[in-house]
Structure 1
Amino acid sequence: MRLFFISITIVCFSAMSGQLEEKCVVNGIKISTLRYSSIIPYSKELFGINHHFPSPVKKLQNIVNKTDDGSFIVFSNTEIIFIANKKNGVFNGKLSIYPDGIFSVHATIKNGILNGKCNMTFQPFKYAHGSKLSSSVNYDFRKIPVPHEQWICNGKQDFILNTEGYFMDGKKFNGSFLQIEPYMDLRIVTIQNYCNFILISKSNPVVYKIVPWINTF
Structure 2
Amino acid sequence: MEALLDGVLPASPETFHRVRREAARLQRLVDDLQELSRVEAGQVPIHPRPVGVQELVDAAIGRLRPQFDDNGIVLDAEVSPGVPRVLADPDRIGQVMTNLLGNALRYTPRGGRVTIRVRPEQDVVAIAVVDTGVGIAASDLAHLFDRFFRADRSRARASGGSGIGLTIARHLVEAHGGAIRAESPGPGRGATFTFTLPPAP
Given the two structures, how large is their TM-score scaled by the length of structure 1? 0.22
Q: Using CA pairs below 8 Å that are at least 6 residues apart, which structure has the higher relative contact order? A: 2
Counting helix residues as a fraction of each chain, which structure ranks higher?
2
Structure number with the higher strand fraction is 1
